[in-house]
Amino acid sequence: MAVSISHLGYRKLSRMIFEWQAVDRTSLLAIFILMEVSLHWLWCLFVWWQQDALSDYVDITLLSPLWLGTTLIGLFFLGIIKHLSRSGNNDNRLYKWQILLMLPYSAYIAIVIVMVGYSSLFAGVSLVGGAMLGMMLIKRRYVWRIFLLQVLLILSAIISPYFGIHLPNLRQLTVIYPLLDTYSYLNYNEVMAIENAMAALTFENNTLDWNNISELQRSSAFFWRSTHVFLALPKAVFIVYMFRTLLLILDDSKREILQHANQDELTQLKSRRYGLRQMQQALLRMGDKQDFSVVLLDLDWFKDINDTYGHDVGDQVLVEVAQTLLQSLTDEAIVSRYGGEEFLIVLPNTKHDSAMKIAQQLQRSIAKHVINIKNGISFNVTASLGLYTLTHDEQTCLRQAHEISVQKEAATQLSNPKNIKSPSKKRTSNHMLTAQLPTDICQRLISTADKALYEAKDRGRNQVVSANDMLAAEENTVNATYASS
């Protein structure tokens, strides 16, 4: 069902860009055009009502044709609105209706601009504002082409007097007309300057009283300025309001997109991608003599929970475990859902012993937590955790190894004649890289913690295993083997 005038409202306007169908937006644009035409019709009514007082400023003989044309074009757009309210969202037919809507409007606006006297305010708002509004609501390609056509029409009307073509103009130039006997399509400042100059030269011998001329000029200028403000200002305010609404929609959409991208929808924890990005940033912020700990947590026998109680209960388990993690950790910890029933916990500036205590506390808290489901059924879940702590000494070794690797790569590139053109850029890039850890450092840490996690699974689950201890044991074994040999 297409939009009607009664549908207009802030909430509808705020959703039209993304939620409404094309036929609704086209109907809405037709309503806006009808509102603008109604302003023109009311202006004609006012001039006709005050024609005795305004006959010195307005060519009344041209008012009736303009009024009649405004009435007909208003009825035309009203008919389009009624037709669109009954039509479907057929793209091919709708595009034809969009063209039928914009072409007469462009010609009509060009005629109105010519007849009420060219004004940069009125013409600018009509051209730019109308095109921007149209691009929000209908096919942009059509709006762009019709905008260019409208510019061409208005430019043709402005320069036509220079080719001896006199177009109808409602504006009466009260001092110039008796002297020049011609039409003018000048703007306000030009008209007033010419009138003042002509009056000063012609009537300096008191042929016509100067006070009367000045009063007539002021009245005429005030009337036409008021006319153009009346015709342009409501449209300008409305278009600014529309774009303000559009920007609010874009801001809301940006926040929603970021929320979906950075937050796991089910558990409300950080998403995997966002968690890894924050982990990398935390690594780059590491200070001297700071350790960096990573915990990878996996729920035990989670597939059996889904198979026994259903996926809804499985989702409930994930949500409650996520809340347990948040309640047990400080704000400095980075907690994300790494995938499925796995959770990644990053503990910046945390030494191995402290991280081990935290991981063990998490393991106990999860094991003690009771999952209550319908029909009075309750059960407990357990988790296996793998821990790895990147010490400051290991971090220094990694940085040095990475620096050596980067320098070798730079040397290889510089030895290639194709890369000699911009060595300064490469030196700058290499210098920046030497201050960083390897780009895959996050995956290295997680992979090491994952090995400890699998070891916890092999040892019977529901426990914490330290990758640092595993590596130390392997090193001791190797050393013992070499010593015995």
Task: Grade residue 345 by pLDDT with cuts at 50, 70 and 90.
Answer: very high
Residues 464 and 363: their CA atoms lie apart, in Å, by 7
Record the pTM. Answer: 0.55
CB atoms within 10 A of CB 13: 17
The DSSP symbol for 263 reads B
In the chain, the percentage of residues whose pLDDT exceeds 70 is 75
Q: Give me the mean pLDDT over the 180-202 stretch.
A: 47
Residues 188 and 123: their CA atoms lie apart, in Å, by 13
Judged by DSSP in three states, 338 sits in strand
pLDDT score, position 214: 56
Residues 6 or more apart from 131 whose CB is under 8 A from it?
143, 144, 147, 150
pLDDT score, position 232: 85
pLDDT over 50 (residue 208): no
Residues 6 or more apart from 136 whose CB is under 8 A from it?
17, 25, 242, 246
Top pLDDT among 168 and 173 is at 168
For 179-205, give the DSSP string. HH-S-----HHHHHHHHHHHHHHHSTT
User: Could you give all domains of the chain from N- to C-terminal order, each with its CATH number?
Assistant: 5-260 (no CATH), 272-484 (3.30.70.270)
Residues facing 294 on adjacent strands: 346, 388
Provide the CB-side half-sphere exposure for 260 (13 A, CA): 5
114 contacts 157 by C-beta, under 8 angstroms: yes
Q: How far is CA 255 from CA 258, 259, 260, 396, in A?
A: 5, 6, 9, 38
Residues facing 339 on adjacent strands: 342
Task: Grade residue 188 by pLDDT with cuts at 50, 70 and 90.
Answer: very low
Task: Grade residue 356 by pLDDT with cuts at 50, 70 and 90.
Answer: very high
pLDDT score, position 473: 86
- Token reading at 283: 């690594």
Strand order in the sheet with 342-348: 334-339, 342-348, 292-299, 383-390, 464-466
Residues facing 58 on adjacent strands: 171
Q: Give me the mean pLDDT over the 214-219 stretch.
A: 61
The DSSP symbol for 126 reads I
- Token reading at 189: 């400042």
42-56, 251-265, 322-336, 413-427: segment of lowest average pLDDT: 413-427
In the chain, the percentage of residues whose pLDDT exceeds 90 is 30
pLDDT score, position 15: 55
98-112, 304-318, 362-376, 412-426: segment of lowest average pLDDT: 412-426
pLDDT score, position 419: 54
pLDDT over 90 (residue 198): no
Helix (H) or strand (E) holding 305, with range, is helix 302-309
Q: How far is CA 3 from CA 13, 280, 446, in A?
A: 11, 50, 54
Q: Give me the mean pLDDT over the 179-191 stretch.
A: 45
| Cβ-count burial 362-396 (b if 16+ within 10 Å, e if not) | bbeebeeeebeeeeeeeeebebbbbbbbbbeeebe
How does pLDDT run across 81-126, given as a tens digit for each residue?
888 877 766 667 788 888 888 888 888 888 888 888 777 777 778 7
Residues 27 and 20: their CA atoms lie apart, in Å, by 11
85 contacts 4 by C-beta, under 8 angstroms: yes
How does pLDDT run across 411-427, given as a tens digit for each residue?
776 766 555 454 444 44
CB atoms within 10 A of CB 209: 10
Averaged pLDDT of the chain: 78
Residues 115 and 157: their CA atoms lie apart, in Å, by 10
pLDDT over 90 (residue 3): no
Task: Grade residue 55 by pLDDT with cuts at 50, 70 and 90.
Answer: confident
pLDDT score, position 485: 64
pLDDT score, position 139: 82
